[in-house]
Amino acid sequence: MRTNALIPAVLALAAAATALATAAPASAGSRGTELGRQTLPAGDGWASAGTGTTGGAAAPAGNVHVVTDRAGLVAALASPGPRIVYVKGAVDAGRTCADFATGGYTLAGYLAAYDPAVWGRDAEPSGPLEDARAASAAAQTAYMKLKVPSDTTIAGLPGAVVRHINLHVDKADNVIIRNIRFEDAADCFPQWDPTDGDEGNWNSLYDSISVTGSTHVWVDHNSFTDAGNQDSAQPLYFGRPYQVHDGQVDITSGSDFATVSWNEFADHDKTMLIGSTNNPATDVGKLSVTVHHNHFSNTLQRLPRVRFGKVHVYNNYYEIPDASTFVYALGVGVRSQIVAQNNYFRLSRAVDPAGLLYDWGGTALTATGNLLRVAGKETPIDLVATYNAAHDPDFGPDAGWTPTLHTGIDPASSVRREVSRHAGAGEIS
Ligand code: CA
Ligand code: CA
C-alpha cells in the first residue's frame, strides 16, 4: 500500500504543481509511480491492444485536478486533456429524486395510471403521466450522467466514493478508472413496460459506469455496491420488482478493447452487459473485452452477459450464496465468443451448477480450468458439459479463438485467496 504517501503528494500537487511535477517519479512500472500516472501494463487484456491504454498519464501538471464534489468533477472532466482527475472523499450527485420530478409526476400517480387493471398489458405507457416521468428522467439524466472524454484517468484517493452518479465513457478513446467505490446509481423514475417478458418489467437507465462507442478503457480496482439501496430490497409493483438500477459496468454500442480487472461487484442484479442489442449494425467484430480477477459477490446475472464480442473471462471469483435470487453467471448471447478460463465458482448447495451458463442465443464457448466449490469441497467443473447435460440445444465447446493478450493466468485453486485479498478499491499495491 502506497496510500499514505499518495495523499500528501496529491495535495502538494494541487498547491504547487510545478514543484511536484519535478518530483514525480518517471518509472514506467506501477510501483513507485504516482497512481494517476500509472498505465495499463503491456499485454494486460484487450485494452492493451494497439495503442494500449494510458488514460491521462501524460497530463501536464496544470491538467491534474483533485475534486471533492460533483461540480468539481464536472469541471475537471470538461477541462483540457490529457487530464488526471483525483476523487477525494465522497462525490455525491447531491440532489434527491424530488429535485428532478416535474410535470406532475408522482410514483403514486404513475402506479394508478398504468396499473394493468386499468391500462392493460398490450401497450407501453403513454399519456400525461408517462410524459411527466420521461421529463423527470431527462432532468435526472442531465444532472447525474457525466461524460468522460478521451485521454482521462479518474483515480480515487484513499476512501474515494462516487455516489448517485453515472460515469459515461462515450465515443472516447483511452480512459482509465481506478480505485473508487461506486455506490447506487439509482434511477428515480423507472419505466414500466408491460410488454417486456411475460409479466412486464420495471426498467432503469443508469449504470455506475457506461462505456458506449469507446475504445481502450481500463476499469480496475473499483468497488461497486448499491449500499443501502439494494435491488433485493425493492418493493414489488404490479407483481414485478421495482428495479431502480441497471448495470454496474456496461460496455455497449460498438465499444472495443476494454479490460475490467480486480474489481469487486457486490449485491447487484444486472451486473455487466457487453453488447446491448442483437442487431449487428454496430457490434460485429467489436466488444473485445477482458474480465479478470474480479470478485462477483452475490450478484445475480450478467457476470457478464455477452453479445458478439471475443470476451476472455479468467481468474474471477464468483460467490453465489442464494439460489432463490441467482439467475445465471455467464450469458452466452448472439454470436458471442466467450473464453472462460480458471475461474472459481463458490456456490451454496441449492445453486444448480448447470445454471451458471444461460443461453441468450449463443452457440459455443470455450471453458477450461474452472473450479467449483460446494460445501467446502472443490472439484473441477466442465461448464459446457454440465450445462449441456441439463439443457438443449447444447453449446459447442470451442469459441473459435485463443486469447493472447493477458498477463499471468493463475491456477483456479489460488483465485479465491488472491481475489479476496486484492480486488476492489483501496487495494492497489
Ligand atoms: Ca446499461
Ligand atoms: Ca443437452
Across 68-208, where does the E strand assignment appear?
A: 83-87, 90-92, 145-148, 152-156, 161-163, 166-170, 173-178, 181-183, 191-193, 201-203
Å from CA of 358 to ligand 2 middle: 13
Q: Is 18 among the domain residues?
A: no
Average pLDDT over residues 118-140: 97
Å from CA of 284 to ligand 2 middle: 28
Nearest ligand to residue 386 Cα: 2
Q: Is 135 among the domain residues?
A: no
Nearest ligand to residue 211 Cα: 1
Q: How many domains does the chain have?
A: 1
Average pLDDT over residues 127-149: 98
Q: Which amino acid is at 40?
A: L
Residue 305: active-site member: no
Q: Is 19 among the domain residues?
A: no
pLDDT at 18: 34
Nearest ligand to residue 274 Cα: 1
Give 334-383 pLDDT, tens digit per residue. 999 999 999 999 999 999 999 999 999 999 999 999 999 999 999 999 99
Q: Give the bridge partners for 345, in sequence order.
A: 318, 372
pLDDT at 407 over 50: yes
In this prediction, what percent of the chain has a pLDDT beyond 70? 93
pLDDT at 88: 98
pLDDT at 194 over 90: yes
Q: Is 230 among the domain residues?
A: yes
Å from CA of 107 to ligand 1 middle: 22
Q: Is 130 among the domain residues?
A: no
Q: Is 2 among the domain residues?
A: no
Domain that holds residue 222: 26-103+142-422
Q: How far is the CA of 15 from the CAs of 10, 61, 284, in angstroms? A: 9, 11, 47
Å from CA of 180 to ligand 1 middle: 19
Q: Is 108 among the domain residues?
A: no
Å from CA of 251 to ligand 1 middle: 8
Among 83, 163, 302, 346, the active-site one is 302
Å from CA of 320 to ligand 2 middle: 24
Nearest ligand to residue 396 Cα: 2
Written as nine digits, the cell of 69 is 464534489
In the predicted model, what is the mean pLDDT of the chain?
93
**CATH number of the domain to which 274 belongs:** 2.160.20.10
The C-alpha cell 452487459 sits at 273
Q: Which element (helix H / strand E) includes 211?
A: strand 209-212
Q: Is 132 among the domain residues?
A: no
